Structure 1
Amino acid sequence: MPRITRELRKSGPVVNHKRVARLMRAASLAGGHLRKGKRTSVQDVRAPKAPDLLERDFTAPRPDVRWCGDITY
């Protein structure tokens, strides 16, 4: 509700956050909020590194020559 109240105050007459809350309750509206990302795995720092059997080389001689991607979960 603070964001909605702030936007309403910018665009017109002064409104109170309690009024915004009451009107939102009457209209069955709820404000959205950011959620924390879900952490799917935690790296074990003591585990040995996997050998690079494919000898991958991600260095490029100039921009837009090599593209790579990674899916982490």
Structure 2
Amino acid sequence: DFRPISLVGCLYKILAKVLANRLKRMLEGVIDERQSTFLGGRQLLHSAVVTNEVVDDAKRRRRDCLMFDVDFEK
């Protein structure tokens, strides 16, 4: 009793990995360096930490602080 080996899932994974690697190389030159999430080596909390530091610095120096944050959705 031998069953055939299915390579459909394997081929899909290989193709998906190749496409992901090619897109990653392309996106590094397209996405702005200030984008802090969804890219390798960048963390989600980085923006929150920077925002907190800016607000703390403004309070410490007793200066006004104006910030603008945009979150786009599809």
* TM class, shorter-length: under 0.3
Higher relative contact order, structure no. (Cα contacts within 8 Å, ≥ 6 residues apart): 1
Q: Give 1 or 2: higher helix fraction.
A: 2
TM-score for the superposition, normalised by structure 1: 0.20
Q: Which is higher, the Rg of structure 1 or of structure 2?
A: 1
